[in-house]
Amino acid sequence: MSYLKDEIEQRVSDYDHWATRRRYGPDGPNNRRLWVLACMDERLPVDEALGIRVDSPVGGGDAHCFRNAGGIVTEDAIRSAMLTCNFFGTREIVIVQHTQCGMLSANAGDIEQALRGRGVDIDGLTLDPTLPELKLEPGAFGKWIGMMDDVDVACMKAVETFKHHPLIPKDVTVSGWIWEVETRRLRAPTLDADKRARTDVTSDQFGVKAKQPPRWS
């Protein structure tokens, strides 16, 4: 016979471990041993898209989730992935990008010009005042912004980058997915025009004609 007392005691014990799991390093991983890289866009619901619980603390905690503009590979994304995979017990990386992404909506060159027009010296910029050693070579600012020509291509390249990065263990599983804002469904990245027909996935669809600076050269 099951008693409510026993169930409550188990819940209390489970929550105590959830709250203190960082004490245990790789032996205290998140629920799914999972790290998610996703775009910061408010129309990308990570929990709904992946069928997991990330943002809800009670009964959640399925993954470490890192969000940035575009859900792209950056030095800080790599830093976070390195830590979770090497020291926090994570065994899988999932990248989620999406259609209608704002990173398709402008050319990086135009953004550079807009910042210069506001008096920003992008050639002598300190990216992180707490880490002045982190610098961009002259002319690299447009690449650093990370605007995209094609969200599916960007997702595929992000997957390959993490698969082959020396800071990510070789046995970590890496996959990438596209959330269709228009249809509220998840699909694999593809170049098949028919599968992308109902969605905006390229910068050309936003009226951007010039190619972006080649972030992956």
Report yes or no: 31 and 62 within 8 Å, Cβ to Cβ. yes
The H or E element that residue 158 is part of is: helix 151-164
Q: How far is CA 78 from the centre of its chain?
A: 10
Q: Is the pTM of this model over 0.75?
A: yes
Report yes or no: 38 and 66 within 8 Å, Cβ to Cβ. yes
- 23 to each of 1, 12, 20, 62, 132, how far by Cα in Å? 35, 18, 6, 17, 31
Domains with residue ranges and CATH for the chain:
30-101+147-200 (3.40.1050.10)
pLDDT in tens, 20-42: 999 999 999 999 999 999 999 99
Q: Which two tokens stand for residue 179?
A: 């959330």
Report yes or no: 62 and 56 within 8 Å, Cβ to Cβ. no
The H or E element that residue 159 is part of is: helix 151-164
Report yes or no: 98 and 178 within 8 Å, Cβ to Cβ. yes
Report yes or no: 68 and 76 within 8 Å, Cβ to Cβ. yes
pLDDT in tens, 139-161: 899 999 999 999 999 999 999 99
pLDDT in tens, 161-183: 999 999 999 999 999 999 999 99
d(C-alpha 73, C-alpha 79), whole Å: 10
Q: Which two tokens stand for residue 85?
A: 């995979």
